[in-house]
């Protein structure tokens, strides 16, 4: 055993005791100042508990008061989900213009498979998906973790059609006489 290894051994012991002392100082401070503790007293405060804005709860399909949503069934969220938590079943219907359009039959979310990565919410081009503040998901039956996100009778929110502006008149050619420097 060399002198360097003995010095390194005692140096490591000193660093460990110093680190332990720092942690105990923080614990001791909060022990004598209990009003400054920010720990939530869950489940006693269940009725008043609010999660942070950036909290990622379960994925929801945002509906407004008219039971309309923005999801057009494009399937980008389904493609970007790394483990298949989202399943979109679409149907086609004829709109008032006589054109066939895609409508959502079911927007299925398998909460039991979700890793809460947020790729579906970030990739949605119509901003139809969001995270809720719901976090209590303990159930005895796993089937209860499969949810249909679109509410019964919900429809896609139609954006008001903006009439196309009339085409601008063709510009009339302007001919100017260019003075001839030879004259």
Is residue 68 domain-shared with residue 152, that is, in the same domain? yes
User: How far is the C-alpha of 150 from the C-alpha of 106, rounded, in Å?
Assistant: 7
Residue 130 included in any domain: yes
| 42 — pLDDT class (breaks 50, 70, 90) | confident
Helices and strands, number each (H, E), in the chain: 3, 7
Per-residue pLDDT for 25 more than 90? yes
Is residue 19 domain-shared with residue 103, that is, in the same domain? no
Q: What is the CATH number of the domain that holds 82?
A: 3.30.70.3270
Per-residue pLDDT for 169 more than 70? yes
* Per-residue confidence (pLDDT) for residue 82, from 0 to 100: 93
Residue 119 included in any domain: yes
pLDDT in tens, 124-146: 999 999 999 888 888 999 999 99
Residue 163 included in any domain: no
Evaluated on CA atoms 38, 43, 44, 45, the torsion sign reads positive
Per-residue pLDDT for 48 more than 70? yes
Residue 179 included in any domain: no
Per-residue pLDDT for 182 more than 70? no
Is residue 140 domain-shared with residue 83, that is, in the same domain? yes
Residue 26 included in any domain: yes
* Interacting residues of 134 by C-beta distance below 8 A, sequence separation 6+: 57, 58
How buried is 124 (Cβ within 10 angstroms: 0-12 exposed, 13-18 middle, 19+ buried)? buried
How many separate domains does the chain show? 2
Q: What is the mean pLDDT of residues 27-34?
A: 88
Collapsed DSSP state (helix, strand, coil) of residue 92: strand
User: How far is the C-alpha of 147 from the C-alpha of 63, rounded, in Å?
Assistant: 15
Residue 141 included in any domain: yes
Is residue 74 domain-shared with residue 17, that is, in the same domain? no
* Per-residue confidence (pLDDT) for residue 111, from 0 to 100: 92
* Per-residue confidence (pLDDT) for residue 123, from 0 to 100: 93
Q: What is the mean pLDDT of residues 39-62?
A: 84
User: How far is the C-alpha of 65 from the C-alpha of 107, rounded, in Å?
Assistant: 19
User: Which is more confident, 173 or 17?
Assistant: 17
Is residue 31 domain-shared with residue 75, that is, in the same domain? no
Residue 142 included in any domain: yes
Are β-strands 129-131 and 100-110 bridged in parallel, bridged antiparallel, or unpaired?
unpaired
Is residue 76 domain-shared with residue 139, that is, in the same domain? yes
Per-residue pLDDT for 176 more than 90? no
Is residue 26 domain-shared with residue 70, that is, in the same domain? no
pLDDT in tens, 59-111: 999 988 888 888 888 899 999 999 999 999 988 888 888 888 888 889 999 99
Is residue 13 domain-shared with residue 66, that is, in the same domain? no
Is residue 148 domain-shared with residue 69, that is, in the same domain? yes
Collapsed DSSP state (helix, strand, coil) of residue 12: helix
Question: Which residues constitute the domain of residue 8?
Answer: 3-36
| 174 — pLDDT class (breaks 50, 70, 90) | low
Is residue 66 domain-shared with residue 130, that is, in the same domain? yes
Q: What is the mean pLDDT of residues 152-160?
A: 77
Query: Residue 28 has what DSSP assignment?
Result: H
Is residue 19 domain-shared with residue 94, that is, in the same domain? no
Is residue 87 domain-shared with residue 32, that is, in the same domain? no
Residue 28 included in any domain: yes
């Amino acid at each position: 055993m060399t002198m360097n290894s003995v010095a390194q051994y005692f140096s490591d012991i000193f660093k460990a005791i110093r680190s332990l002392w720092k942690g105990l100082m923080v614990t001791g401070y909060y022990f004598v100042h209990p009003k400054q503790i920010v720990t939530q007293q869950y489940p006693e405060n269940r009725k008043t508990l609010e999660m942070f804005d950036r909290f990622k709860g379960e994925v929801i399909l945002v509906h407004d008061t008219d039971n309309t949503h923005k999801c057009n069934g494009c399937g980008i969220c389904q493609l970007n989900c790394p483990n298949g938590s989202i399943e979109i079943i679409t149907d086609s219907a004829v709109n008032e213009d006589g054109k066939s359009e895609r409508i959502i039959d079911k927007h299925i979310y398998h909460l039991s498979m979700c890793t809460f990565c947020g790729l579906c919410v970030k990739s949605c081009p119509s901003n139809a998906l969001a995270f809720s503040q719901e976090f209590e998901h303990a159930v005895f039956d796993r089937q209860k973790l499969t949810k249909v996100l679109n509410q019964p009778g919900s429809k896609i929110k139609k954006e008001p059609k903006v009439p196309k502006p009339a085409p601008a008149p063709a510009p009339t050619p302007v001919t100017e006489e260019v003075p001839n420097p030879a004259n």
